[in-house]
Each structure stands twice: as structure tokens, then as C-alpha cells.
């Protein structure tokens, strides 16, 4: 049985965090300015790599950005790759 994965927004730290079994496994960090969240850094902790965590993390971060009525910038290469493979998010990118 796999451990529960959840993504939460931590606005005080300007990032989205993915947790596995209640333990922080990675995050997508952003800077928000003028209605745009610039995702600059995405990290998955080495002990959690290879579990496919970056895609659900980035998807949740972009979904949350859309729900907040904001646009996104993909300064992070992981976010840029995700958007290039998932056309439903391309309209969100400035």
C-alpha cells in the first residue's frame, strides 16, 4: 500500500509543498508580483526521488494559481518541462 500524497499551499513561504505520509517530500517555490507567480525552484528531497512526485506537485501549484486568478511564469526548468508536456496549462503561462 502506498503512502498518502497531499499537496498544500504555504503562502507564508511562497510555495506549494507535497507531503508523502505526512512528511514533506518536496516543494515548488514562487515569487508573486503583479498578478504573476514566477515559479523559480522545484525540489524533491533525494529520498523521495523517482516516485513521480514533481508532476502532481507542479499541477497542483498551477491549478492553485489559476484558481487564484493569477498567471504563471516558468523560470524553473521542471515547471517549463511540465507545461510543455501538458498543453492544458499553456494558457496560464506569461
- Domain chopping of the chain, boundaries: 5-92
CATH architecture under which domain 5-92 falls:
3-Layer(aba) Sandwich (3.40)
- List beta partners, residue 39: 30, 74
Per-residue pLDDT of the chain (94 residues), as tens digits, is 468 999 999 999 999 999 999 999 999 999 999 999 999 999 999 999 999 999 999 999 999 999 999 999 999 999 999 999 999 999 999 9
Residue 81: all three cell numbers together: 518541462
- Distance set, CA 39 to CA 7, 10, 94 (Å): 16, 14, 12
Distance CA 4, CA 16 (A): 16
Amino acid at each position: 500500500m502506498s503512502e498518502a500524497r497531499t499537496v498544500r499551499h504555504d503562502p507564508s513561504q511562497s510555495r506549494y509543498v507535497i507531503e508523502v505520509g505526512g512528511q514533506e517530500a518536496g516543494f515548488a517555490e514562487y515569487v508573486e508580483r503583479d498578478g504573476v507567480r514566477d515559479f523559480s525552484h522545484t525540489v524533491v528531497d533525494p529520498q523521495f526521488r523517482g516516485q513521480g512526485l514533481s508532476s502532481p506537485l507542479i499541477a497542483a501549484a498551477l491549478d492553485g494559481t489559476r484558481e487564484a486568478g493569477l498567471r504563471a511564469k516558468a523560470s524553473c526548468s521542471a515547471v517549463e518541462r511540465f507545461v510543455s508536456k501538458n498543453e492544458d496549462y499553456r494558457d496560464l503561462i506569461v
